[in-house]
Amino acid sequence: MKTVVGIDPGIGGAVAVLEGNDLTIWDLKPFYSDAPGFNCLDASEFAHFVDTEIDQFDDLIVVCEMPQLRRTDGIKTSRSVYRSDGVLSATFNFYGIDFVCVTARAWKKYFGLSQDKKQSVAKACKTFPTYTDFFTGPRGGQKDGRAEAALIALYASKTMK
């Protein structure tokens, strides 16, 4: 059975490992540099994470939501988004792990979701009921990055062989 890693990139995103029915989730925020005005994945921190947490799995595929910019995004945002995307791609390629990007439209269409993050959280809570606490905060806040990473992993496990 293939182990699938789903990634919702971005500072509020997450990494979800789906192995059979077991789900493990990490937030991406700790791997982002805190340089003023320029947030992007720290390559050495993320590589260490992949080495210690992800590379242990056999028969692994990583599926990441493709970053998409809006017309209103400035150069700082563009630079940060695409640099972080490069860190993700390069790190997994370095470890010889299959790395695939999917559009948000593709995986959300599969689940019948819109762009509304609340729908993603609700779907993840329904799909993974024992992991509901991962998708909601202690005061009811939504952890949409975690929810979307888990759904991306599930989408990949169902559609990619």
pLDDT digits (tens, 9 = 90+) for 38-73: 677 888 999 999 999 999 888 899 999 987 766 665
* One-letter identity of residue 101: C
User: CA 10 → CA 64, 111, 114, distances in Å?
Assistant: 11, 21, 19
**Alpha-carbon gap, residue 80 to 69, rounded angstroms:** 11
Domains of the chain, each with CATH number or no CATH: 3-159 (3.30.420.10)
CA–CA distance, 91 with 48 (Å, rounded to integer): 10
- Beta carbons of 45 and 58 less than 8 angstroms apart: no
Cβ contact 146:7 at 8 Å: no
pLDDT digits (tens, 9 = 90+) for 119-148: 999 999 999 999 888 898 766 667 889 999
Q: Determine the pLDDT at residue 2.
A: 83
